Amino acid sequence: MNPAKRSPSCAELVKDRLYFAILFHKPKSGSTSTHYFCIDDEFVYENFYADFGPLNLAMIYRYCCKLNKKLKSFTMLRKKIVHYCGSDQKKQANAAFLVGCYTIIYLRESPENVYRHLLFGNVSYLPFRDAAFGTCTFHLTLLDCFHAINKALQYGFLDFNTFDANEYEHYERAENGDFNWIIPKKIMAFSGPHSRSRIENGYPHHAPEAYFPYFRRHNVTTVIRLNKKMYDSRRFKDAGFDHYDLFFADGSIPNDAIIKAFLNICENAEGAIAVHCKAGLGRTGTLIACYIMKHYRMTAAETIAWIRICRPGSVIGTQQHFLLEKQSEMWLEGDVYRSKLKKTQKLAVTKILSGVDDISINDSKYQNASRKDSEPYSDEEETHTVTQGDKLRALKSKRQAKAYSVPLTVILQSSVQKSKQSKPSISDSAGLSKRTTRSTARKSSFKSLMPQRERGKEGKGRLYNKYAYALPLSQGREVCYVEQ
């Protein structure tokens, strides 16, 4: 049966070849002319609260590889390929998102055309929402996400010829560092380090030293902290990194001085910048979004969509509306910045921000680290109470627990036994024999953050692959492309 005749429950994306359908019953197998496949239970969004998408970069990549393989398969050359989904509206939105991304990335369709094709019959898609607990006040549409993917392609943020899905999935896990690149080779977001590596309430904390090897290999030269001090910044500084403090309260929005200082630091950094708050989601995503809007003229919705595709759960609550309000201001500042940069050929950004003649990134107004840097803050409001960042970190560590069976008590018992046998150091390869979930993760060291493939480069005679991972980089990665 021709899938096109199933209208209004089917969209033809490539004539006589590729279709997207919403079916309320599983199609019969064995058709000689049509191949049906469903990914509803294969690519699943890991939610915090009521959020359900969009799916992350690795899932987009793996879906595209899967679909490319089907389209190139010799046994399916004469078949119509139908990606179908069921009646779950949340899964419909994510399925449409994946197939839409494919047509934009590989078929070079415009976001508007893709979205129009997917609105077949009376179909409508649920808008995505933030990871906050409570009522949604900001809707992120499927079209916003398509525009984000398209802009990411234009600006070089997205390149599946070089993208490593295994590495992405490795480092986004809490036990391996919990970080993601938002702008490759320029800005990354990560969960805040702590004074020492340990497991606390089921969540693995990492000391600053745990990040040094990766940061050095990827030319990260600057660290920006947005939350209250949980570690001594001199540990980064003594290792050769620039470190800045731009604190504002968890779940809140930054003032103009913080935004200007953040942009100034990013625009003058010699290498890449690593930004963190507590969970590396709300405050971190908000300031990175300001940078993207200023320098790439993306809309607030497109920017939020891209950051969430890279790092799900980013930008929360009032921060979304704040970015909408800041959009035109950031665009204007970006226009002025680029105009003056062309004339002067100098990165004199401190002389062009809103008429301010001199904003020094080393000024004590922004560089809180200059005051009693060796002593962590003792702040009752954020340090000793459960904040939004704490809740999001806890949810992130627990949401995959059902997929694994090693209980936290076993891990803690193992950790206690190890500590009795030998005094741990930052260079120890600490861990369990098997990889666990975020809620049952092992203690981290700077070796434990490195995938097996990268650790192998440190020395042939050293057994850094002692502890197994679910997705070791040594398995190799697929390169996903379409012949032009």
The length of the chain, given as a count of residues: 484
How confident is residue 200, by pLDDT bands cut at 50, 70 and 90? Answer: confident
Whole-number Cα distances in Å, 84 to 98, 229, 276, 381, 480? 12, 49, 39, 49, 22
Give the pair of three-digit tokens for residue 173: 């896990």
Q: What is the pTM of this model?
A: 0.76
The per-residue pLDDT for range 17-38, each reduced to its tens digit, is 999 999 989 998 778 899 999 9
Distance CA 453, CA 432 (A): 18
Average pLDDT of the segment spanning 84-92? 97
Give the pair of three-digit tokens for residue 69: 């393989």
Distance CA 126, CA 456 (A): 45
Give the position of tokens 């997917």. 118
Average pLDDT of the segment spanning 347-361? 49
Q: Which of 214-218, 240-244, 279-283, 406-410 has the lowest mean pLDDT?
A: 406-410
Average pLDDT of the segment spanning 446-475? 38
Distance CA 200, CA 190 (A): 18
Closest C-alpha among 26, 45, 46, 44 to residue 36: 26
Q: Who's near 346: CB < 8 A, 6+ residues apart?
A: none
Q: What percent of the chain has pLDDT over 90?
A: 65
Domains detected in the chain: 8-163 (3.90.190.10), 174-341 (3.90.190.10)
**Residues with active-site annotation:** 277
Closest C-alpha among 81, 84, 82 to residue 73: 81
